[in-house]
Amino acid sequence: MKYEAVIGLEIHCELKTKTKIFCGCATEFGADQNTHVCPVCLGMPGVLPTVNQRVVEFGIKAGLATNCEINKYSKFDRKNYYYPDLPKNWQTSQYDLPIAEHGWVDIDVAGEKKRIRLTRIHMEEDAGKLVHSGTTIKDSASSNVDYNRTGVPLLEIVSEPDMSSAEEARAYMEKIKAIMEYIDVSNCRMEEGNLRADINVSLRPVGTKELGTRTEMKNINSFKNLEDAINYEIERQTEVLEDGGHIVQETRTYDPARGITLSMRSKENAHDYRYMPEPDLPPIVTSEETIEKYRSELPELPDARRARLEKDFGLSDYDAGIITSSRAMAEYFDAVVATGADAKLAANWMMGDLAKNLNEEGLDISKSPVDAQRLGEMIQLIMKDTISGKIAKKVFKEMWTNTDSPEKIVKDKGLVQITDTKAIEGIVDEVIANNQKAVDDYKGGNKKAIGALVGQVMKASKGKANPQMVNKLLAEKLG
């Protein structure tokens, strides 16, 4: 039997508010343990929470940006469970009346568009963190609880089980990340856990509709781990089913070091949590005007921006897709073009040499040693024929470690393109005189032989002769 994968994601997105969701403590990352805490987020008896209005605003904006309906009447609920990182023994979350529901986003995988539906977006508080003296709880003599993260606001974005491969799941998570960055509600730093996903995977026979039993892998915080965990789980489940076995509904953990998923515990069901309305918080009632105000504050979103880059600058759908895939990339592109640089050249350089160098050093574009201003200046040197595209590669490489302006680098290194006809003619004459065989081949009808001669001229000029002029002069002189 052939199986197909069914995948649904629950993405937790940490919001970039200054203060926590129900108290005034700072949300800042990386502070000393238990320095951002107060009686409210420590779960002391006799204190009352108040809702941070910013969190509601961000929840509504996230909903609007993902085509959700906003619930004008929404409320918080208590999700009860026991764990040392949860001082109240319940997590204040939302159950049956989340802030937003029934949305969708479009993804592209291998040139194909697909719509992924969002079930809901709800607001909740993060839990604290156990800090082990060893590497895991098992090999630790002791563990501290750090409550700094307790009460940091999160949005949980739940998808329908609409994805059928690791690539689709990745594209979906990339889209959600881009949207959250564009609307500026989260830093989306996956390595800091700002954005993490629980992935649900099941299999079903191809052509059937009924969902199979799923497993869930929690807290996946990199795109690589997301893809690897899904692919491993698809393989594992396929083997179990092909051997005539049954999938156990359970929570598994992904171990990136070994590239495998391991059983953690049997999966809890909603009724295990004894959800109940949060009595300490009033319901959240939002007027149409407020929703429209938030809608009017939304920036241009990734899909719209992509369409605009195609229309205004003639970029290909593929290029525009990559450039708008993160807010930082899109803004960098705009800044390069704003210097007066040609848009297509800007796109080519961003997706070529810039991307390559950033990748090699594992740098985000916001940390690029070549900023948009300088790349723009360099592209203008190409546009003015001061340097050729080929020399520009050398200039770009130099710019990576040298903070001078591209113009100064080109001057200092003597890289200015030779566009003086007399000077190029001199080299061309010399090359013709010294390469009789290629000249004869060309005259004998092998037009390709001119390539070797062009190559010789470029070499003799150390790559600085203007290639168009070299071609033209050679063709003229050879008749």
Minimum distance from CB of 306 to Zn ion (Å)? 40
Sequence-distant (6+) residues with CB within 8 A of 437 are: none
Q: Residue for token digits 């993160």? A: 326
Q: Does 103 bind ligand ADP (CB under 6 A)?
A: no
Contact segment (CB under 5 A) with Mg ion among 9-17, 35-43, 102-110, 301-309 equals 9-17
Q: Helical H runs in 17-146?
A: 53-65
DSSP assignment, residue 267?
A: P
DSSP assignment, residue 418?
A: B
Considering only residues 120 to 159 of the shown chain, the ones binding ligand ADP according to CB under 6 A are 158-159
Q: Does 248 bind ligand ADP (CB under 6 A)?
A: no
Considering only residues 139 to 178 of the shown chain, the ones binding Zn ion according to CB under 5 A are none
- Cβ neighbourhood burial of 32 (10 Å; 0-12, 13-18, 19+): exposed
Q: Does 38 bind Zn ion (CB under 5 A)?
A: yes
Q: Does 334 bind ligand ADP (CB under 6 A)?
A: no
Minimum distance from CB of 325 to ligand ADP (Å)? 23
Q: Specify the residue, 19 or 194, whose C-beta has the smaller distance to Zn ion.
A: 19
Alpha-carbon distances, residue 70 vs 16, 363, 372 (angstroms): 21, 37, 38
Q: Rounded CA gap, 28 and 148, in Å?
A: 9
Instruction: Please identify which residue in 11, 25, 203, 337 interacts with Zn ion, judged by CB under 5 A.
Output: 25
Site string for ligand ADP, 213-232 (x = CB under 6 A): -x-x----------------
Reading across the β-sheet that carries 250-255, which strands appear in turn?
A: 69-70, 100-109, 112-125, 153-159, 3-14, 195-205, 215-220, 250-255, 260-266
176's enclosing H/E stretch is helix 166-182
Q: Rounded CA gap, 479 and 477, in Å?
A: 5
Q: Does 23 bind Zn ion (CB under 5 A)?
A: yes
Instruction: Please identify which residue in 91, 202, 237, 325 interacts with ligand ADP, judged by CB under 6 A.
Output: 202
Q: Which entry of Mg ion, Zn ion, ligand ADP, none binds 8, CB below 5 to 8 A by partner kind? A: ligand ADP
Q: Contacts with ligand ADP: how many residues (CB under 6 A)?
A: 16
Spatial CA neighbour of 467 closest among 447, 478, 453, 448: 453
Q: Specify the residue, 25 or 424, whose C-beta has the smaller distance to Zn ion.
A: 25
* Region of residue 411 (phi > 0: left; psi between -120 and 50: alpha; otherwise: beta): alpha
Minimum distance from CB of 214 to ligand ADP (Å)? 4
Contact segment (CB under 6 A) with ligand ADP among 30-38, 43-51, 172-180, 210-218 equals 210-218
For binding to Zn ion (CB under 5 A), which residues are involved? Answer: 23, 25, 38, 40-41
For binding to ligand ADP (CB under 6 A), which residues are involved? Answer: 6-10, 158-161, 200-202, 211-212, 214, 216
For binding to Mg ion (CB under 5 A), which residues are involved? Answer: 10, 198
